[in-house]
Each structure stands twice: as C-alpha cells, then as structure tokens.
Amino acid sequence: MDNNNSNNNGGQNQKGPQTFIILAIAAVVTLILFSFISNLLTDSSQKKITYNEFLEMVDSNQVKSVKIESDRITIVPKTKAEQEGKESVLAAVPLITYYTGIVEDDTLTEKLLVAGVSLEGEIPDRVGFLESLLMTVLPLILMWILLSFLFSKMAKGSGMMGVGKSNAKVYVEKETGITFKDVAGEDEAKESLQEVVDFLHNPDKYSKIGAKLPKGALLVGPPGTGKTLLAKAVAGEANVPFFSLAGSDFVEMFVGVGASRVRDLFKEAQKAAPCIIFIDEIDAIGKSRDSRYGGDSEREQTLNQLLAEMDGFDTSKGILILAATNRPEVLDKALLRPGRFDRRVIVDKPDLKGRVEILRVHAKNVLMDDTVDLEAIALATSGAVGSDLANMINEAAINAVKHGRTVVSQSDLFEAVEVVLVGKEKKDRIMSKEERRIVSYHEVGHALISALEKDSEPVQKITIVPRTMGALGYVMNVPEEEKFLNTEKELRTMLVKFLAGRAAEEIVFDTVTTGASNDIEKATEIARSMVTQYGMSEKFGLIGLETVESKYLDGKAAMHCGDATAAEVDKEVMKLLKESYERAKELLIENREALDKIAEFLIEKETITGKEFMKIFREIKGIPEPEE
C-alpha cells in the first residue's frame, strides 16, 4: 500500500463533503439575510390604515392609484405637487405607501373611477410563487440535507468532518526497509518478537499444540534504545499490514474523539487481519486512572475503550498489538495484565557485546582505516544507547571529512565520543593564566587518584580545553572490562576521585573555586545511594530508605522515611563525603611532586593521553614500565 497515495486520496475524499457543507451553509445564510432585509424594507415603506381613512383620502383627492390584491388594498398617495396640479420629476415618487384590509364594498370601484384614481387588480405571478418557494421551502430542504449528512457521518463513528477517524499510518514489509538484521545489541528482545512473527507466518504449527497468539507485547526501556526500530523490524519481518501511530494521536480537545479513534482503528485492523498495531508512547493514553497521576475524562474514556477493544477482538484472526513506553510505572494495571499485554519485552541499554554489534551495524557503510578498534570505543561508551552510538559514528565521519581525510580513524571515533559526551572544543573561550593553572591542577588531582587507587579505572585522556557543554577540562577514564556490579571499596574510591579535584585546589592554591560543583553533585549522589539503597552504611545497615522512580528516564529516587530519619541520612552522607575528601587530600599531599610536574606538563600541552600521563607518573615514582 502506498502511504502517500492513501493520504492524498483521504484528503480528496474529505474535501468534497467539506466543500458541500460550506456551500450549503452559505446558501442558507444568504437566503435568511435576503428574507430579513426584504421584510425590513417592506415594513419601513408601507403603513397600515383603516378602510374609513382610505375612503377619506379618496374623497379628498389624495390617492393616485390603488391595487386590489387577494388579502389587502395597496394605496399609492399623491405627492403635494400632484395635489396642487404641478408637475415635478423629483416629487413624482411618494416616500411611503399605505395598505388596508379587504371590505365588501360594491361601490368602491365606482368611487375610484369618479375620483380619477388609477385602478389595478391582482394578476397571479409565477415569479412571486418561486420567490416564496425559495424563501420558505428551500432553506428547510438545505438544512435537512446538511443535518442528515452530519448525523450519518457521526453514526458511522467518524465524528464531525473526520475528527474521530483513526489516522494510523499503514506500512507493509517493503516500505519499512528494516528487518531484525538491522537491529543489534538487543538479542533477548529480538528473540521474543521473532517468536511472534513466526506465529503470524505459521499459525498452524502453534495451534496444533494448543498455543494461542499473544494479544500484545509491551516494549519497555530508556529513550534511544531502539523500541520503535524493533517495531519497524517486526513490520519488515512479518509481511503483514502494520498500523503505526503514537499515543498522542488519540488525544483531542473533544471528549469522546479518542474513544472513537480507538474503535475505528480496531475496525480497520480486523478488516486487514492478520496485522500488527503499534502504539508508540502508550503512556499518553494509558496512565493509571487513580488520582495520583491526575484525572482526565477524555483520556480515561480513550483508555477504557482501548481496554474493551483488546478484550473483544479474536486472536485467531492474527491481530497483534505492540506498544512502547519508557514509563511503565505510570501505566494502568488493567492495561498490563495478561490477556491484554501478555509479554513485557525489556529493551535496555546494551552491554559491551551489544555496543560492539551496534557500532558494527552503523559502521558498515562508513569507510574506516586499520586503526579502528570498535571494542575500545564500546568500552569507552559504557551506558550509551543505540542512538548515541549511531550519532558517534556519524560525528566521526563528519570529523574525518572536516580534516580532509577519506576514511575514519580511531582518533576520529574517540573525538566523536567526546563530542557526544561533553560537547565540542570551545576554542573561542580563552582562560587566564591563573585559571589554566587551577583547572590543570584540578584535573590532574582526579587523574592521580585513578593512578594511585587500584580499584579505579585507568586514564584515557586529560585535557584543559573548554567544551561547549560547560566543562573547562575533564579526565576520560576507560574501564579495562565492563562491570555490572560495584563493590563498596570501588564506590568509596569513586568518591575520593570525584573530590580530588577540589582537594588539589585547596592544597596548591589554599582556596577553592566553583569548578567542583559537578563533582560534588555526583559524589553526593553515590554517597546517598550507598546509605539509602545499597545498605553500605554502618549506622542504618540493611534497610531501603529510597526507591527509584522513572527507572528508564531520569532514575531519580524518592525517600520513604520520616523527617528525623532523613536528617540522620544527611548526616551519614556528609560523614562519607568528609572522609573521602580527607583521603583525597592525604593521597595528593603524599604525591605533591607528581601533582606539580604533571600539572606543568598539562598546562604546556593542554591535552595529554593516558599513556603520557602514566609515563610521567612512573618516572617520578621510580616504577618500571610494564612489559608489553
């Protein structure tokens, strides 16, 4: 199905009814205005008099002409000039006429003829009849046609002028151009969805054993992990009609429109079965109906209709519902139960192996030289999602072109990693000599802790070149292997490393600056998690005082304790941070010579690699170089 053609035809189909409605309304309004103005003019130019007054006017020679009609006598009076026997063109037309009712008077005609009054009788006029028809019957007919059309459209569930009609985009296999081969790093999610696709292709194989097609699958994960990409891959693999729309497409300002669109969507899907319905960002209509997340009658009607439709359709026809969200905690429990969404497919951040596969997928059409090591890039991008990695490959290609190269190198990729994580180099920001010294000592303080503590990650790069995301300098650490757990000792080492920059400033300059604000924020977050979530506090022990909300978004935690306990938690966090800060100062004072020499070298070079840093450190400490 050609999506563009279907959209154009839909626009043409709606244009005809809308034009008819506009013309009909314009005709009715014109007739009403014409009738109103005509009556107004008639009322202002005619005056009613009694029959006696009419006879008196005839006797006093004030009447010029008379027209006897079926229901009245219309009297045209003489002007003053005519009464005086004078001729005047300007005064020939009277300003007002009179009329009176019909009275049985056999002598009236004779009186008028004697008085010299022009007498006229009524002649049936077809034009008057047609005018009467236009003024009365035609507006009623037009209104009846208009209302009949609107009510018929509403009765079909389409709403006024197509407002309640589903606007889902329909795809088939050849249009998406995406299959499971284009999705990497999410093997478990692909496996769950491949089973569903196989069910659609070979239903008999499953029905023989008594298995039923799952009604729905909910794709859950952080933004950028590839939920929509997976849904498109299902469309590419299934080779069945694929209805794609977002949860916000159901929401309108008119109450009941969303429910109407849900009904229309499922009606169209049943006609096209077997097929797949994909609802992206389903939390827009699927939020819990309790008061915690606020009430909305339109959204709740839409959700109720969706629940009813998911219960009502027959799975044997092959209708599968896919939905995606990164806020599963706010979804209504009735929506999540088996029988509606039978499967919850977690599309989480990829691990090291997954990141390597994703990088390979996005790098297959990019020219790269022999220096490129995608595993090293994957190690340096722990926590990155598929969209981040795709952006890094693209930035590396752009960087290679910018430097006049025809292939991408490893240095281009690492620079792209920095661009995505901390922004581009801000070359127009020139720091003073004193600020350069402060930033240099600050960053070397972080790096020295990484070299001194064995539970820390190795240094990849140190720089004091400002970046567009606000950093005046930074230290890039790259782990030797990916970890899924952190020991308490490793977390305490992280605290020392984060606070070492501030400690170096105090030791060397006997003052502190605002440059450590981000370090303090990160250190506080880790220390609080150790106390409230990880049970690593001697005072509180194994008690959970916080729970993580919006796990797949910002991951913020909410406290679940009294005010007195919360105050004690703050004291424990401050104790941890103070101990870590003292430890950082102690280590840096013991290694002041290394701190000074490496900082001087960094001021001169602005950027040094991890190998250069470790070479200077080993020379100062008298440590032999490791054998390669």
Out of 237, 309, 357, 443, the active site residue is 443
- Tracing tokens 């004072």 back to the chain, one arrives at 589
Concatenating the DSSP letter of every residue in 155-181 gives: HTT--GGGTTS---EEE-HHHH---GG
CA–CA–CA angle 138, 139, 141 (5° rounding): 65
- The answer to whether the CB of 438 falls within 8 A of the CB of 515 is yes
| DSSP 8-state symbol, 55 | H
CA–CA–CA angle 313, 316, 322 (5° rounding): 60
CA distance between the termini of the chain = 60
- Tracing tokens 């009606």 back to the chain, one arrives at 267
Instruction: Name the strand (E) or helix (H) holding 257.
Output: helix 257-272
Instruction: Look at residues 243, 253, 244, 297 and name the one whose alpha carbon lies nearest to residue 273.
Output: 243
Tallying the residues shown for the chain, one arrives at 628
CA-CA distance, 76 to 95, in Å (whole number)? 10
Instruction: Look at residues 77, 146, 73, 80 and name the one whose alpha carbon lies nearest to residue 108.
Output: 73
Beta strands in 97-195 (DSSP E): 97-100, 118-121, 169-171
CA-CA distance, 437 to 295, in Å (whole number)? 56
CA-CA distance, 63 to 81, in Å (whole number)? 13
Q: Which residues pair with 387 in a beta bridge?
A: none
| Catalytic (active site) residue 549 | no
Per-residue tokens: 300: 């709740």
- The answer to whether the CB of 241 falls within 8 A of the CB of 268 is no
324-to-121, 173, 224, 502 alpha-carbon distances in Å: 83, 20, 12, 43
Q: Which residues are catalytic?
A: 443
